[in-house]
Amino acid sequence: DTEVTQTPKHLVMGMTNKKSLKCEQHMGHRAMYWYKQKAKKPPELMFVYSYEKLSINESVPSRFSPECPNSSLLNLHLHALQPEDSALYLCASRPQGNGEETQYFGPGTRLLVL
Amino acid sequence: TQLLEQSPQFLSIQEGENLTVYCNSSSVFSSLQWYRQEPGEGPVLLVTVVTGGEVKKLKRLTFQFGDARKDSSLHITAAQPGDTGLYLCAGAGKDDSWGKLQFGAGTQVVVTP
């Protein structure tokens, strides 16, 4: 089983709204990632969590706030977003510590900021 | 930063034709993944190559990893409309413990009946 799930599938929000994106995996992976992807472009890394600790923040604006409540869950809290933040947000996970480097992606959340 | 150059950017072919996508870098990768992505969906893993010179086959898809682990190719034989999608290569750096992937720019493949 190499499944990463993400909810919601689609999200429309205003610039003053607060919303959260959720990601879940039950593969025992200890590294989890948030990416942002614009149309016809490759994914851009936002955050990396390793063993539930934030390991990398790629200079992402503070209106994006990640959270890792446990080893299976990853959230991305959104507040006061801008229209240019509209994109496909992808979660990925990877085994950690055994040399396996493959990342498995979820289906994504398509976000539209009005 | 390890740059991964992917070519071509766009390929439009007829059903039954063959195609090849290339990913090249001046840096060595410890592994390289190929993904296919459809609009509005997440990238789906096709293969991971790890060993220099490795060749992997997945039905009509053949993947090669260069001897020096700096380049890779994806060859599709007798393409079908279901092969349409954005193909992404992504390399994992040798010395990166966080597993950060360097993505190629992607190749949009369109296979028409």
**CA A60 from centre of chain:** 12
> Amino acid identity, residue B106?
G
**B22-45, pLDDT tens digit by residue?**
999 999 998 999 999 999 999 999
What would the two tokens of residue B19 be?
């195609």
Question: Which residue does chain B place closest to A98, by CA atoms?
Answer: B97
Using CB atoms within 10 A of its CB, is residue B39 exposed (0-12), middle (13-18) or buried (19+)?
Answer: exposed
Instruction: Tell me the mean pLDDT in the region B9-25.
Output: 97
Question: Can you give the length of chain B in residues?
Answer: 113
Look at A31 and B99 and tell me if their CB atoms are within 8 Å: yes
pLDDT above 70 for B1: no
* Reported confidence tier of residue B12, pLDDT bands at 50, 70, 90: very high
Look at A42 and B31 and tell me if their CB atoms are within 8 Å: no
**Among candidate residues A64, A57, A74, the one with its CA nearest the CA of residue A13:** A64
Using CB atoms, which residue from B42, B48, B106 is nearest to A105? B42
Tell me the C-alpha distance between B73 and B64, whole Å: 5
Look at B104 and A102 and tell me if their CB atoms are within 8 Å: no
**A80-95, pLDDT tens digit by residue?**
999 999 999 999 999 8
Look at B108 and A40 and tell me if their CB atoms are within 8 Å: yes
* Reported confidence tier of residue B94, pLDDT bands at 50, 70, 90: confident
> What is residue A9's DSSP assignment?
S
